[in-house]
Amino acid sequence: MSAPLRALDDAFHAMVERSRTSPPPSLGERHDRLARLRAVVADNEERFRQAISADFGHRSAVETTIAETLLVFSEVRHATKHLKSWMAPQRIATALQFLPARNRLFPQPLGVVGIIAPWNYPLQLALAPAIGAIAAGNRVIIKPSELVPHFSALLRELVAARFDATEMLVTGIENEVAKAFPTLPFDHLVFTGSTRVGRIVAEAAGRNLTPVTLELGGKSPAIVDPSADLEEAAERIAYGKLLNAGQTCIAPDYVLVPEASLQAFAEKVRAHMRRMFGTDPNNKDYTSIISDRHYARLERLVADAAQRGAKILQPAKADDPNWKARRKFPPTLVVGATPEMAIMQEEIFGPVLPVMGFREAAEAIAFINGRDRPLALYWFGKDRTARDEVLMRTVSGGVTVNDCLFHFTQINQPMGGVGASGAGAYHGEWGFRTFSKLKPVFYRSKLNRLADLYPPYGGKIARLEKMMRFMS
C-alpha cells in the first residue's frame, strides 16, 4: 500500500474508532466546530481567491466571493442559529390505542461522512455538505478535485491547522486516493460531479451499503413562455449561463423559445452577454475554462453544431488568439440547435447556449420529459396557468421562476437532483437530517393494556382486537 493510501486508511479508521467510542458531540462542541470552519474561510478569503484563480487560469474574484465564500458563511450562520432546535427530540403523535404511551424521534450522528468535492466551485461544494455533517455531529473527510491542486493544498493545510485529524481532515488528490475513497465504508458519502462518475461512485459505495447523496448535473432547460418579457428573460438567462463561464451544474443548458421569437431572443441574449462581459478576453470579471481538455471539448461541440446547420452567434470575435491563450471561451449562442447535435447530447458545462424553437407549450414539455430529469428547470413568463402546467408536468431537482440559479441559494429549501441528476438533498435542516439517523423511540406507559396481547390469548384478545379495529 502506498503512503497516500495508508494515510487515508489510517485516518478513516481512526475516525471510525472515535465515532464509535465517544459520546455524540454536544451542542457547544458542534458550535465550536462550525465556528472553526467559518474561521478557516474568513481568515483566508484572499488566499482562497488566489488559489482558485491559479487553478482556473483566471477566476473572477467577485464570483468566488458571491458564489462560494458568502454561501459558506450563510450556511454556517443558519446552522448555528437553528442547531439547538434541530438537535432536540421531536414529539411524534401516538396512535390512540397505545395511549398514554409516548413517541419521540431522536436525531443521532451517523458517524463518518465522506465528501468528494468537484472543481467548479471547490470551496462551497466541499464545505456546504461538511457544515451539515458537522452540525449533525459527524466526523468528516473531504477529497477535493485533482483539477484544483492549489486550492486543495490550501484547504488541507488550513483544516489541519484548526481541526484534530479525528474531527475533520482533507485528503490528498492523488489518483489512487480518488479511486480508493468511495470504496471506504463511510456512514454516508456525498459526491458532486458528473452523472458518469456518479454512477461509478454509487456502485463503489453500494458494495458497502453506504448511503449516498449524489449532486450530479445534466441538461437543465429554460423555457421562455410566449407571455414572458423577452428582454428580461434574455438578461437573466445570459447571467445564469455565464456565471463562472457556464461551469455551473445548475446553469441553463439550453433554452426553448417560441419559434416566432427565436432570432429576436438570441440577439437580445448576445447583447446582454456583450454588455455584461464585453469583448475583451482580458476582462477580469470573466472566468477561464478549467483546463485545455475542457476548452477543446467546447470547441468540438460548437464546430459540430455549425457543421449540422446551426447559426453561431458570439458577442466577441472568437478568432482573437488571446481568448484561447487565456483559456477563456467566448460566450456563444447556438441558434437552431437540433436533438442530433452533440451539444444537445451531453452537458455543456461552459459558456455555450443552444437556443431551440417550439410551437406550443406541450411540445416544450414533451421535449424535456423525453430526456433525463434535469437538476434544474427555469421558466419565464406571466401566464400563471402555463407556469403551473410546466411545474406540474415536469420533474426536476429544483426550479426558479423568472430567473436562474437562485433556488440554490434558498437555505430553507433542499438542494438535490432526481434520477440521472442526483439523489438525496442537503442545505440547512435538510443537510442536518441527511447526515443524521432519526431514531424512533416508543415509551410504554404503565397504564397501557399491551400485556393483553400476550398468550394465552383466550377471550381477552378478541376484546382487544375489536377495540384496535375500531380505533384503526
User: Cα dist. 222→17, 179, 215, 287 in Å?
Assistant: 48, 35, 20, 23
> Is the model's pLDDT at 320 over the cut of 90?
no
Confidence of residue 158 (pLDDT cuts 50, 70, 90): very high
Confidence of residue 450 (pLDDT cuts 50, 70, 90): low
pLDDT in tens, 30-88: 999 999 999 999 999 999 999 999 999 999 999 999 999 999 999 999 999 999 999 99
From the list 75, 167, 215, 235, the catalytic residue is 215
> Is the model's pLDDT at 289 over the cut of 80?
yes
Question: Which sign, positive or negative, has the C-alpha torsion 80, 81, 85, 86?
Answer: negative
**CA 446 – CA 74 distance, rounded (Å):** 47
Do 470 and 464 form a contact (C-beta atoms < 8 A)? Answer: no
**CA 404 – CA 209 distance, rounded (Å):** 36
> Is the model's pLDDT at 467 over the cut of 90?
no
Q: Where are the domains of the chain?
A: 3-216+422-437, 221-414
> Average pLDDT, stretch 101-107?
95
**CA 183 – CA 206 distance, rounded (Å):** 9
Query: Facing residues of 192 across strands?
Result: 215
pLDDT of residue 472: 66
Do 143 and 171 form a contact (C-beta atoms < 8 A)? Answer: yes
Question: Which sign, positive or negative, has the C-alpha torsion 195, 201, 204, 206?
Answer: negative
pLDDT in tens, 169-202: 999 999 999 999 999 999 999 999 999 999 999 9
pLDDT of residue 4: 86
pLDDT of residue 471: 67
Q: What is the pTM of this model?
A: 0.94
> Average pLDDT, stretch 399-404?
98
Check if 167 is active-site: no
pLDDT of residue 113: 98
Enclosing H/E stretch for 466:
helix 458-471
Do 287 and 281 form a contact (C-beta atoms < 8 A)? Answer: no
**Contact partners, residue 225, CB within 8 Å, separation at least 6:** 258, 361, 379, 380, 381, 382, 383, 386, 387
DSSP class of residue 26? P
Confidence of residue 240 (pLDDT cuts 50, 70, 90): very high
Confidence of residue 398 (pLDDT cuts 50, 70, 90): very high
Confidence of residue 357 (pLDDT cuts 50, 70, 90): very high
Do 105 and 440 form a contact (C-beta atoms < 8 A)? Answer: yes
Confidence of residue 447 (pLDDT cuts 50, 70, 90): confident
> Average pLDDT, stretch 288-308?
97
Torsion on CA atoms 151, 152, 153, 155, rounded to nearest 10: 80
> Is the model's pLDDT at 449 over the cut of 70?
no
**CA 455 – CA 449 distance, rounded (Å):** 13
> Average pLDDT, stretch 86-103?
90
Do 210 and 16 form a contact (C-beta atoms < 8 A)? Answer: no
**Contact partners, residue 373, CB within 8 Å, separation at least 6:** 218, 395, 396, 397, 417, 418, 419, 420, 421
What is the average pLDDT value for the chain, to the nearest integer? 94
For domain 221-414, give the CATH number: 3.40.309.10
Q: What order of strands is seen across the sheet that includes strand 139-143?
A: 168-170, 139-143, 112-116, 188-192, 212-215, 422-423
From the list 249, 347, 404, 429, the catalytic residue is 249
Cell numbers 466571493 correspond to: 65
**CA 451 – CA 127 distance, rounded (Å):** 51
pLDDT of residue 96: 79
Check if 347 is active-site: no
> Is the model's pLDDT at 452 over the cut of 70?
no
Farthest-apart Cα atoms in the chain, separation: 92
Query: Facing residues of 438 across strands?
Result: 107
Q: Which residue has the higher pLDDT, 225 or 96?
A: 225
Instruction: Using DSSP, state whether 124 is helix, strand or coil.
Output: helix
pLDDT of residue 446: 81
- The string of DSSP letters for 304-348 reads HHHHTTPEEE-SS-TT-HHHHHTT-PPPEEEET--TTSGGGTS--
**Contact partners, residue 173, CB within 8 Å, separation at least 6:** 143, 144, 145, 146, 149, 152
Q: Which residue has the higher pLDDT, 426 or 464?
A: 426
- The string of DSSP letters for 234-259 reads HHHHHHHHHGGGG--TTS--EEEEEG
> Is the model's pLDDT at 330 over the cut of 70?
yes
Please give the angle made by the CA atoms of 336, 340 and 343, to the nearest 5 degrees: 70
pLDDT of residue 23: 95
Do 106 and 86 form a contact (C-beta atoms < 8 A)? Answer: no
User: Cα dist. 190→130, 174, 193, 356 in Å?
Assistant: 9, 19, 10, 34
**CA 7 – CA 9 distance, rounded (Å):** 6
Identify the CATH assignment for 3-216+422-437 out of 3.40.720.10, 3.60.15.10, 3.30.465.10, 3.40.605.10: 3.40.605.10
**CA 215 – CA 415 distance, rounded (Å):** 9
> How far, in whole angstroms, is CA 272 from its chain's centroid?
27
CA atoms within 13 A on the CB side of 378: 30
**CA 339 – CA 294 distance, rounded (Å):** 22
Regarding beta strands 168-170 and 422-423, do their DSSP bridges make them parallel or antiparallel, or are they unpaired? unpaired
Cell numbers 483566508 correspond to: 44
pLDDT of residue 396: 97
